[in-house]
């Protein structure tokens, strides 16, 4: 199939592009390189430097690519940042997203696999989290993802655009070639590994008074290659549907730091800090639905395998991408 990927120069986008190409699909990457890296774009993909804020440019690029499906990864994706700059999240993730949807309508593109997030559930009262939980986001970031999903329902009903919402839990790890390079970096695993690399003095642990086994937040880390394989399977879906996507195991922040110590063999000093605004205490996926309906199965569910892949990439790219 021909796939139009926005944000294909970013962390998740770049590795999904690589896996789409490996699976034999043709890919056009549309990215303004505001956060992504040119070196993260697989050379087998066609690259268009464009911005979703530019409705006409988006439409032209989509028409030229004439794709069978769209995969939008271009979005602002940091929970804490969204608690300070909500407007950025509604602008980039909702308003610019409308430009993409309208371009799809104009160009007759009828299929989308959307990068959604478990952040739209807020702080659920039970885990593992199934798709039926109420949508109650705790941050503008989660709200923006919920809003896009709601829009998709109407674009399906009115314009016949079939969607698959993939609600990611915590994407982590790397492929052999591409990895995580956010500037600044706010995510846990790359921050812990930055200490192991000697680029930071200590890891900051945000909040130790949550109602969890050791007081730190629990997250479900999913290997980026498993996340990519879910996108490829989602292309086969013929119905509009939402799936939660995680490994199904929850780890506390302290357990992640410990796993990084084991994988790297380094002491990795840590310091306890106050809670970070907008962080739900516990997010663990039930991925039963995507497993039973699309046959998705994580190949790398073990946290140490996820960390080891990230560690290999960061050691090979201590300063991230060159460009
Ligand atoms: N954390 C630390 N120290 C750090 C970084 C993070 O203690 O230096 C903690 C956070 O407070 C949180 C946990 O580690 O409890 C995970 O934080 P991340 O920033 O790695 O990830 P988030 O869970 O906040 O968010 C990520 C993505 C979102 C997505 C969400 C789904 O950034 O886009 O996972 O859980 F919605």
Task: Mark whether 84 and 95 lie in a shared domain.
Answer: yes
Task: Mark whether 254 and 225 lie in a shared domain.
Answer: no
Task: Mark whether 69 and 212 lie in a shared domain.
Answer: no
Show the ligand 1 pocket: residues with CB < 6 angstroms. Answer: 77-79, 117-119, 169-170, 186-188, 191, 203-206, 217, 219, 253, 276, 279, 283
pLDDT digits (tens, 9 = 90+) for 287-307: 999 999 999 999 999 999 999
Q: What pLDDT is attached to residue 311? A: 98
Task: Mark whether 269 and 153 lie in a shared domain.
Answer: no
Phi/psi-derived region of residue 69, left when phi > 0, alpha when psi is between -120 and 50, beta in every other case: beta
Mutate to test the pocket of ligand 1, among 166, 169, 188, 260 (most ligand atoms within 8 A of CB): 188
Task: Mark whether 136 and 78 lie in a shared domain.
Answer: yes
Cα(177) to centroid of ligand 1, in Å?
24
Question: Is residue 167 situated within a structural domain?
Answer: yes
H/E stretch holding 21: helix 11-22
Task: Mark whether 131 and 253 lie in a shared domain.
Answer: no
Q: What pLDDT is attached to residue 120? A: 97
pLDDT band of residue 210 (cuts 50, 70, 90) is very high
Question: Is residue 323 situated within a structural domain?
Answer: no
- DSSP single-letter state for residue 218: E
Question: Is residue 321 situated within a structural domain?
Answer: no
Within 8 A by CB and 6+ apart from 15, the residues are 174, 175, 178, 224, 225, 227, 228
Cα(306) to centroid of ligand 1, in Å?
15
pLDDT digits (tens, 9 = 90+) for 6-45: 999 999 999 999 999 999 999 999 999 999 999 999 999 9
Question: Is residue 290 situated within a structural domain?
Answer: no
Phi/psi-derived region of residue 257, left when phi > 0, alpha when psi is between -120 and 50, beta in every other case: alpha
Q: What pLDDT is attached to residue 278? A: 81
SS3 245: strand
Task: Mark whether 108 and 188 lie in a shared domain.
Answer: no
Task: Mark whether 20 and 135 lie in a shared domain.
Answer: yes
pLDDT digits (tens, 9 = 90+) for 48-102: 999 999 999 999 999 999 999 999 999 999 988 999 999 999 999 999 999 999 9
Task: Mark whether 122 and 207 lie in a shared domain.
Answer: no
Question: Is residue 322 situated within a structural domain?
Answer: no
The CATH number of residue 193's host domain is: 3.90.25.10
Task: Mark whether 105 and 229 lie in a shared domain.
Answer: yes
Give the residue, by CA position, lying nearest to ligand 1 atom 31.
Answer: 169
Question: Is residue 67 situated within a structural domain?
Answer: yes
Q: Which residues are catalytic?
A: 141
- Examine the pLDDT at 277 and tell me if it is beyond 90: no
Question: Is residue 306 situated within a structural domain?
Answer: yes
pLDDT digits (tens, 9 = 90+) for 133-189: 999 999 999 999 999 999 999 999 999 999 999 999 999 999 999 999 999 999 999
Task: Mark whether 101 and 41 lie in a shared domain.
Answer: yes
pLDDT digits (tens, 9 = 90+) for 92-133: 999 999 999 999 999 999 999 999 999 999 999 999 999 999
Count how many domains the chain has. 2
Task: Mark whether 187 and 307 lie in a shared domain.
Answer: yes
The CATH number of residue 143's host domain is: 3.40.50.720
| Residue whose entry in the numeric block shows the structure tokens 């929970």 | 79
Residue span of the structural domain in which 270 resides: 175-219+249-285+299-316
Question: Is residue 292 situated within a structural domain?
Answer: no
């Amino acid at each position: 199939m021909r796939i139009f990927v926005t944000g294909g120069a970013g962390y998740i986008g770049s590795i999904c592009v690589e896996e789409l190409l490996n699976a034999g699909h043709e890919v056009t990457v549309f990215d303004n390189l505001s956060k992504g890296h040119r070196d993260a774009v697989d050379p087998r993909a066609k690259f268009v430097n464009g911005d979703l804020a530019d409705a006409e440019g988006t439409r032209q690029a989509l028409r030229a690519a004439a794709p069978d499906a769209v995969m939008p990864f271009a979005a602002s994706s940091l929970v804490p940042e969204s608690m300070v700059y909500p407007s950025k999240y509604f602008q980039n993730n909702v308003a610019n997203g409308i430009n993409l949807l309208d371009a799809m309508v104009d160009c007759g593109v009828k299929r989308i696999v959307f990068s959604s997030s478990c952040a739209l559930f807020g702080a659920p009262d039970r885990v593992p989290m199934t798709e039926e939980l109420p949508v109650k986001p705790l941050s503008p970031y989660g709200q923006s993802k919920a809003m896009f999903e709601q829009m998709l329902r109407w674009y399906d009903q009115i314009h016949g655009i079939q969607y698959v919402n993939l609600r990611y839990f915590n994407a982590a790890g790397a492929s052999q070639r591409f990895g995580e390079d956010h500037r600044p970096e706010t995510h846990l695993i790359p921050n812990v590994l930055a200490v192991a690399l000697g680029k930071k003095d200590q890891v900051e642990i945000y909040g130790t008074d949550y109602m969890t086994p050791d007081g730190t937040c629990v997250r479900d880390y999913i290997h980026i290659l498993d996340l990519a394989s879910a996108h490829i399977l989602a292309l086969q879906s013929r119905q509009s549907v939402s799936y939660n996507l995680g490994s199904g195991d929850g780890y506390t922040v302290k357990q992640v730091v410990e796993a990084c110590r084991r994988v790297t063999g380094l002491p990795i000093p840590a310091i306890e800090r106050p809670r970070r605004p907008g962080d739900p205490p516990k997010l663990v996926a039930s991925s039963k639905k995507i497993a039973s309906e699309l046959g998705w199965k994580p190949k790398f569910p073990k946290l140490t395998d996820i960390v080891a892949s990230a560690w290999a990439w960061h050691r090979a790219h201590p300063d991230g991408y060159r460009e």
